[in-house]
Amino acid sequence: MMARRIVLADQVAIMKLSSVLQIAALTATAAAKSCLTRRPTISPSPYQPRLPIPNPPKRHKVCVVETNGDGVTDDSEHILTAFHECNDGGHVLFSKDETYTIGTAMDWTFLKHIDIDIQGRILFSNNTDYWQANSFRFIFQNVTTFFKLGGDDVWIYGGGTLDGNGQIWYDLYAKDIYTLRPVLFGVDGLHNSVVSDIVMRYSPQYYHFVANSTNVIFNNIDISGFSKSKNVAKNTDGWDTYRSSDITIQNSVINNGDDCVSFKPNSTSILVQSLFCNGSHGISVGSLGQYPGAFDIVEHIMSSNISMHNASDGARIKVWPNAPAAMSGDLQGGGGSGRVRNITYEDFTIDNVDYAIEITQCYGQKNLTLCQQFPSVLTIEDIVFRRFRGRTSKNYQPLIAAFACSSDKVCGNIEATGIDVLSPNGTHQAYCLNQDETRLDVECTDLYKGVN
C-alpha cells in the first residue's frame, strides 16, 4: 500500500511539473508573440509592380533565435535551427538589442512560407580567410555571398541591421585587388517574397545580388557604409539583378560608392522607384557584353522618381566593345552580344552629378577610336529619358550628358525629352555619337570628356 501511495505521489508530481512546464512554454510563446513586428504594408509609388504583391496568411508558430550573447561566438547553428523549426508556416524572431554573429556560410534556399523578423543586429565575422574559401560563388564576375537566400513566400522585415564588417575588407582589397569580397545579402532563387524595413551597413562588396529570382519586392531599405580609413569602399552597389524578372526596388535610401542599382545580364521587367541615391554611379544598365559567346538581355525596365546626389551618373547604360578591354586588373572583358530594349528613365532630380545621362558602348575602353573600329554587337533600342531636372557637377562641363553609340547599326531609337539640366556654368550640351540628334533635348556636340 505504501509503495502504491509513493507511485501515485510521483505521478501527481510529474503531472504538476508537466503542467508547470506547459504553462511556462505557453507564457514564453505569448511573450515572444507580444514582441513580434507587424508585417509591413507595401505601398508602391508611382507605379504598381507587374505581378501582384505577395499577401500570405499570418504565420502562427514562433521561433526565437538563440544567441551565444557575446557578439563573437558563431550563432549560425542557432539560426539554422530556428529556420528549420519554423519553416513552412512560422515566424522567426531575431530579438531586439541582441547581436547575432555569423561565421559560417549558410544555404537558406530551402525556405518557404516563413516570416523572418530581424529586430536585432546580425554581424558577419571578420575571418576573411574563411569567407574567401567558403562563401558562395556565382558565375558572374567575382561575385560571392555570405549566404544564399532562396525559396518561396519569404518575408523579411523588422527594422534590424545586417552588418558586413566591411572595413577589414576595404583595407584588404586595397592591398590585393583579387580578394574575393562577399556580397552582404545574397539571393539565389527567391520567389513571391518581400524584404522590407531593414538597415544594411558596411558591405564588403555589393549590398544585394539578386539572381534567378521572380516577383520579389525590396522596400524601405536603408543602406550606408563608407570606409573609415584612406582605403575606399569599392564596388558597393546597392542592388545588382541577374537572371531575374519582376523585381521591385523602392522607397529606399542608398549612400554608397558604386551603382545605386545595376541591371546585370538577363534582368527583365524590373521596377525601380522612389529612391534617394547619394555618392553612387547612378541607375545603370550593365555592364553588358563582357563575356565572348554570352548573349545578355536587359529589357522592360522602368526607373522613376529618383533623387540622385553627388554621383558620377544619373541614368547610365554601359556596354563593353567588341574587342578586349580592361576596366581594371580584376574587371576586364568585351566581345559579348545581346540586347538592351524598352528602358525608361523618368523624373530624375540631378544634384552635383557628373553626367545626368550617359550611354556608352565603349565601357572599359579608353581609346574611342579603337572602340569604333570594333563596335559592339549588342543592340540598344527603344530607350527613353524624360523629365530630368537639376544641376550637374563641374567635372565634365560644359557637358551634362553623353549619348555615345559605337555604331548606328546596333544602337538607335533613343529619345530624351524634358531635360531641364544645366552645368554649373549654365550650359546644356551633350556629347552625341551616332545619334538622331533631333530626338535629344540637348545641344549636341562632338566634344567628349570623361573616362569610360
pLDDT tens, residue by residue, 373-431: 778 889 999 999 999 999 999 999 999 999 999 888 899 999 999 999 999 999 999 99
- 187 HSE (CA, 13 A, CB side): 30
> Which sign does the torsion angle of CA 348, 382, 440, 283 carry?
positive
Residue 268 Rama label (left phi>0; alpha psi -120 to 50; beta): beta
* Mean pLDDT, residues 185-189: 98
* Mean pLDDT, residues 86-111: 98
Check whether the bond before 287 is cis (ω within 30° of 0): yes
The whole-angstrom separation of Cα 277 and Cα 307 is 6
Adjacent-strand bridge partners of 318: 360
pLDDT tens-digit series, residues 191-245: 999 999 999 999 999 999 999 999 999 999 999 999 999 999 999 999 999 999 9
- Provide the pLDDT for residue 14: 56
* Mean pLDDT, residues 58-70: 95
Residue 66 has pLDDT above 60, yes or no: yes
Q: Are 70 and 89 in contact (CB under 8 A)?
A: no
Residue 253 has pLDDT above 70, yes or no: yes
Residue 3 has pLDDT above 70, yes or no: no
The whole-angstrom separation of Cα 196 and Cα 194 is 6
Is-catalytic flag, 208? no
> E strand or H helix at 153, and its extent?
strand 147-157
* Mean pLDDT, residues 287-301: 94
Percentage with pLDDT > 70 across the chain: 90
* Mean pLDDT, residues 283-303: 94
The whole-angstrom separation of Cα 188 and Cα 86 is 21
- Provide the pLDDT for residue 25: 39
Catalytic site residue from 60, 281, 300, 428: 281
Mean pLDDT lowest among 32-46, 144-158, 271-285, 358-372: 358-372
Residue 323 has pLDDT above 80, yes or no: no
Higher pLDDT among residues 321 and 443, named by residue: 443
- Provide the pLDDT for residue 76: 98
Higher pLDDT among residues 29 and 446, named by residue: 446
* Mean pLDDT, residues 28-57: 89
The whole-angstrom separation of Cα 61 and Cα 373 is 63
pLDDT category at 29 given cuts 50, 70, 90 is: low
- Provide the pLDDT for residue 407: 85
Mean pLDDT lowest among 169-178, 275-284, 332-341: 332-341
- Provide the pLDDT for residue 448: 82
Residue 20 has pLDDT above 60, yes or no: no
* Mean pLDDT, residues 264-291: 96
- Provide the pLDDT for residue 279: 97
pLDDT category at 328 given cuts 50, 70, 90 is: low
Residue 22 has pLDDT above 60, yes or no: no
Residue 80 has pLDDT above 80, yes or no: yes
Domains of the chain, earliest start first = 62-445 (2.160.20.10)
* Mean pLDDT, residues 286-296: 91
- pLDDT averaged over the chain? 92
User: DSSP states of 219-276 as a string?
Assistant: EEEEEE---SSSS---S--SEEEESEEEEEEEEEEEE-SS-SEEE-SSEEEEEEEEEE
CA distances from 285 to 79, 216, 259 (A): 36, 19, 10
- Provide the pLDDT for residue 21: 41
Higher pLDDT among residues 371 and 21, named by residue: 371
The whole-angstrom separation of Cα 101 and Cα 65 is 12
